[in-house]
C-alpha cells in the first residue's frame, strides 16, 4: 500500500473545513485537483471516505476511523518538519563549544555576541578546559567542536586553523627582559617564574620546550596559578615573570607591565576549530564558526607581534 502525505493532508483539511472548495484553497490547488487527491486516497484504501452532495460533505464510518487515527501522526510529522526547518535555517538550536581559557577570554565573547544579533533564538554553552580535556570531550560527544590548539596529529579530528598564537613573557615595566632584542625560553629561566598550573596547554608547551630546546628538566615555578589574571597581578606586584598566551593579553589588565613574544619556534602554536571527522557541524555551529572567523580578523590587530622584542602593554587600550 502506497499512501502519500498530500492525499492524507487533503483529507484532513476537508474534514476541518467541511468543504472541498475551502480545503482546496488551504492546500493551494484547484478544486478538481483536490477532488482527484481524495479519489486517489479512496482508491488506495478501497473505501469511501466521504458522503458528498452538491452542498455538503460528511464522513463515512471508514472516514471517521481514518480521521481519528491520522490526525495526530500527521500533526506530529508536520511539527517534526517545522522543527528541522528551524534548525536548518538557524532559527533555533543549541551549540556546545569547548574552548581553551585564552580563546574563551578573547574570541568567544565577541563571537557569541555577534551570533546573538543575527540569530537571537540560539543557545550557546561555552565549556572552558585544558587542551587534552577538550580533545577527550570531542571524542565522547560532550562538545560539538572546540576552539583549541592542535598539538599533535589526530586522524579522527578535523582542524581548521584560525590564528597563529605564541607564548609571551610578561614582566614589570623597566625589567631587564625589556632590553633584550629578542626573548627566548632560556631568558625567562633566570627569574622567579609565575606559571599556569599543570595540565594547561601553556604549561605543557613550556615544560616540553625546556626539555627539547633548553636541555633542562621541567622548571619548578615559584608560583603556580590557575587564572591568567592572577598571574598578571602577581607580576605587577614584582613577584616574578610569567609566560602567558599571546591571544589572552588584550583582555588582561596589563597596566604597568610589558610583554614580549618568545622567539623560539617551540613557543608558537596554531589555534583553530577542531571537530570529529565523522560528524558534520550543525547549521547553528557553522554560524558560530563564521562569527569566530570575523572576530579573529578584528582581534589580530590588538595582538603583540609574533617573534618581536619587548612591547609595552600598560597603555589605556592594552589594559582592558
Instruction: Return per-residue pLDDT of the chain as tens, 320 residues.
Output: 677 889 999 999 999 999 999 999 999 999 999 999 999 999 999 999 999 887 889 999 999 999 999 988 888 887 777 767 666 656 667 899 999 999 999 999 999 999 999 988 888 999 999 999 999 999 999 999 999 998 888 899 999 999 999 999 999 999 999 999 999 988 998 899 999 887 777 777 777 777 765 455 445 668 889 899 999 999 999 999 999 999 999 999 999 999 999 998 888 999 999 999 998 888 889 999 999 999 999 999 889 888 644 444 443 333 32
Class for domain 94-162+269-301, per CATH?
alpha beta
| pLDDT of 317 | 34
Give the C-alpha separation, 229 to 248, whole Å: 10
The separation between the first and the last C-alpha atoms of the chain, rounded to the nearest angstrom, is 69
Could you tell me the residue ranges of all domains in the chain?
A: 5-76, 94-162+269-301, 166-264
Rounded to 5 degrees, what are φ and ψ at 279?
-130, 135
Beta-carbon count within 10 A of 319 CB: 14
Residue 99 CB contacts under 8 Å (≥ 6 apart), including other chains: 107, 108, 126, 127, 128, 129, 134, 146, 147, 148
> 166-264: CATH homologous superfamily?
Periplasmic binding protein-like II (3.40.190.10)
Give the C-alpha separation, 100 to 231, whole Å: 17
Domains 94-162+269-301 and 166-264 belong to one CATH topology: yes
Give the C-alpha separation, 32 to 29, whole Å: 8
Under CATH, what is the fold of the domain 5-76?
Arc Repressor Mutant, subunit A (1.10.10)
Q: With contact defined as beta carbons under 8 Å apart, do 222 and 193 qualify? A: yes
Q: Is the pTM of this model over 0.85?
A: no
C-alpha cell, 290:
563564521
Amino acid at each position: 500500500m502506497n499512501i502519500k502525505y498530500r492525499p492524507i493532508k487533503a483529507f484532513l483539511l476537508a474534514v476541518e473545513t467541511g468543504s472541498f472548495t475551502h480545503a482546496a484553497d488551504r492546500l493551494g490547488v484547484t478544486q478538481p485537483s483536490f477532488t482527484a487527491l481524495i479519489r486517489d486516497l479512496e482508491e488506495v484504501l478501497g473505501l469511501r471516505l466521504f458522503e458528498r452532495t452538491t452542498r455538503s460533505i460528511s464522513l463515512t464510518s471508514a472516514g471517521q476511523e481514518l480521521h481519528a487515527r491520522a490526525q495526530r501522526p500527521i500533526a506530529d510529522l508536520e511539527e517534526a518538519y517545522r522543527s528541522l526547518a528551524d534548525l536548518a535555517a538557524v532559527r533555533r538550536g543549541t551549540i556546545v563549544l569547548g574552548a581553551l581559557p585564552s580563546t574563551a577570554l578573547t574570541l568567544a565573547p565577541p563571537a557569541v555576541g555577534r551570533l546573538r544579533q543575527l540569530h537571537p533564538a540560539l543557545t550557546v554553552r561555552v565549556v572552558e578546559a585544558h587542551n587534552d580535556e577538550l580533545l577527550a570531550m570531542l571524542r565522547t560527544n560532550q562538545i560539538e567542536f572546540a576552539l583549541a590548539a592542535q598539538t599533535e596529529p589526530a586522524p579522527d579530528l578535523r582542524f581548521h586553523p584560525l590564528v597563529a598564537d605564541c607564548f609571551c613573557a610578561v614582566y614589570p615595566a623597566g625589567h631587564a627582559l625589556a632590553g633584550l632584542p629578542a626573548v627566548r625560553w632560556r631568558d625567562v629561566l633566570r627569574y622567579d617564574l609565575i606559571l599556569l598550573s599543570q595540565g594547561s596547554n601553556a604549561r605543557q608547551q613550556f615544560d616540553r620546550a625546556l626539555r627539547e630546546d633548553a636541555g633542562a628538566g621541567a622548571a619548578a615555578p615559584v608560583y603556580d596559578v590557575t587564572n591568567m589574571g592572577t598571574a598578571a597581578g602577581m607580576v605587577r606586584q614584582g613577584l616574578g615573570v610569567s609566560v602567558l598566551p599571546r591571544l589572552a593579553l588584550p583582555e588582561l589588565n596589563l597596566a604597568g607591565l610589558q610583554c614580549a613574544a618568545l622567539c623560539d619556534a617551540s613557543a608558537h602554536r596554531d589555534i583553530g576549530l577542531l571537530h570529529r571527522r565523522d560528524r558534520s557541524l550543525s547549521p547553528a555551529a557553522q554560524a558560530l564558526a563564521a562569527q569566530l572567523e570575523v572576530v579573529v580578523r578584528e582581534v589580530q590587530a590588538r595582538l603583540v607581534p609574533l617573534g618581536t622584542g619587548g612591547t609595552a602593554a600598560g597603555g589605556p587600550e592594552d589594559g582592558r
